[in-house]
Amino acid sequence: MHFLLSYLYEFRHQKLRMFLTIMAVSWGMANIALMLSVGEGLYQMMSRGMTGMGEGIVVMWPNQTSMTHNGFGPGKPVRVTEQDIHEGEKLPLVKAISAEYSGWSVQMKTADKNISKQVRGVYPCYGVMRNLIPERGGRFLNTLDEERRRRVIFIGNEIRNTLFGEESNPVGKTIWVNGSPFTVIGVMEKKFQTSMYSGSDAQASFIPASTFRTLFNRTYVNIVLLAPESKENSKDAQEAFRSLIAARHRFHPDDKELFHNWDTFETQEMQDKIFRGLQLFLGIIGGLTLLIAGLGVANIMYVTVKERTREIGIKMAVGAHPLLIIMQFLLEALFTVSIGGALGVAMSMGLMALFDLVPLPETFINVMGRPEPVFSGLIALVCVTILNFVGLMAGIFPARRASLVDPVDALRYE
């Protein structure tokens, strides 16, 4: 209670000084909050972009042998067949597996349009694995399509825009693929995708693998898409499939070069590390700004202690415990940084709201989406911790000096 009184008194008598100190703290706080929030926003956006390609999948490209075995020298191409994939489905660590046949520059025709785009032959489970979500009124390929080699096609949203116009629903309409008529069964819902291996999904079309093999006369798959049971056994699942292929094709059982693998778990982990680093970096910069503000607070506190020597002397004369004097000035420092901190957070919130008004190039937004700063609970916790640390540091030394004041001298102090 007395602490608050003397603080308010100080506040009234040193308006400008207090104002400047608090502004410094709030600017430091806004800085750190803003930096961390923008970093977090960027991270979340990148993560979303990555998951656009699918979560928890491994993309495997058949390569060639690297070891001599059974009389064959290295360099024998690995040719994965439909049968290999079906055997792979039985592996215990494999949650799902799909073949992907790729046709580049395939002619796609409607009544009035004629384009050349990528068409892929895939299994029904591919849609879930790669996050291909149909727009309302459409669907992805299903097992009947696969079994009966139906001539159905699921198209990317940009293909739809080119062939049928934006916002249109072409489900039920016909596209001639290499001269054969295909019925459109769905359009992919627009998604945010930053990771890709053979072009954006929005620019691709998907037909049943069985239909693809017949139409393009293919025997070997271009890509194997594997979803392991879990992140932990991703490596084992890949290894199990590799061993299976080695055994079935009589390659050397230890030949590690049969596939080139892209493990999205690993990519995600690496990206996480990069962003933790970035966050740390941004946090340190913001923290330094706050630290400088903290020095300002410490400075002011020293002046305050000096000016209030007499007050300290009076309190000591009537029996204040030295710890109580320390507490008083420590609390004042913490109080000052708390006010500054609260203002700073409000300031950063305001700046974040203004972030939407920053003009960004249209192409950037189309590819990346608009980055949104995210102020999370964790960031708040980090900010409050740093703020309190700065407050304590700024307060402890002046407070200690105050408690060491000699009451005899202090009472004589004018």
Partner 1 sequence: MISLNNISKKYNMGHVTVNALGPVTLTIHKGEFVAVLGPSGSGKSTMMNILGCLDRPSLGEYLLDNTPVHGFSRTKLARVRNMKVGFVFQSFNLLPFATAYENVELPMLYAKISGKEREHTVKHLLEIVGLSDRASHRPAELSGGERQRIAVARALANNPDIILADEPTGNLDSKSGAEILNLFEQLHADGKTLIFVTHDENLASHAKRIIRLLDGKINQDYTQN
Backbone angles phi, psi at 49, to 5 degrees: -60, -40
Nearest approach in angstroms of CB 300 to partner 1 is 18
Nearest approach in angstroms of CB 8 to partner 1 is 7
Report DSSP letters for 292-336, one per residue: HHHHHHHHHHHHHHHHTHHHHHHHHHTT--HHHHHHHHHHHHHHH
**Per DSSP, what are the bridge partners of residue 357?**
none
CB 6 within 8 A of CB 328: yes
Residue 343 DSSP class: H
Q: Which is nearer to partner 1, 371 or 407 (CB)?
A: 407
Nearest approach in angstroms of CB 381 to partner 1 is 34
Strands 58-62 and 180-187: unpaired
Q: Which is nearer to partner 1, 134 or 407 (CB)?
A: 407
Q: Which is nearer to partner 1, 130 or 308 (CB)?
A: 308
Q: Which is nearer to partner 1, 8 or 378 (CB)?
A: 8
Nearest approach in angstroms of CB 19 to partner 1 is 19
Nearest approach in angstroms of CB 320 to partner 1 is 5
Q: By three-state DSSP, how is residue 218 classified?
A: coil
Nearest approach in angstroms of CB 399 to partner 1 is 15
| Footprint of partner 1 (CB under 8 A) | 2, 5-6, 8-9, 310-311, 313-324, 407-408, 411
Structural element, H or E, at residue 260: strand 259-263
Q: Which is nearer to partner 1, 73 or 319 (CB)?
A: 319
Nearest approach in angstroms of CB 412 to partner 1 is 9
Residue 183 DSSP class: E
What residue ranges in 27-150 does DSSP mark as E strands? Answer: 58-62, 94-109, 114-122
Closest listed residue to residue 267, CA positions, set 58, 45, 39? 58
Residue 72 DSSP class: B
Nearest approach in angstroms of CB 387 to partner 1 is 27
Q: By three-state DSSP, how is residue 167 classified?
A: coil
Q: Which is nearer to partner 1, 147 or 406 (CB)?
A: 406
Q: Which is nearer to partner 1, 175 or 399 (CB)?
A: 399
Report DSSP letters for 11-27, one per residue: HHHTHHHHHHHHHHHHH
Nearest approach in angstroms of CB 336 to partner 1 is 17
Burial of 92 (0-12, 13-18, 19+ CB in 10 A): exposed
Q: Which is nearer to partner 1, 4 or 353 (CB)?
A: 4
Q: Which is nearer to partner 1, 2 or 276 (CB)?
A: 2
Q: Count Cβ neighbours within 10 Å for each residue of 340-379 and write b for 16 or more, e otherwise.
A: bbebbbebbbebbeebeeeeeeeeeeeeeeebebbbeeeb
Residue 61, amino acid: W
Nearest approach in angstroms of CB 330 to partner 1 is 17
What residue ranges in 136-244 does DSSP mark as E strands? Answer: 152-155, 174-177, 180-187, 204-208, 223-228
Q: Which is nearer to partner 1, 75 or 319 (CB)?
A: 319
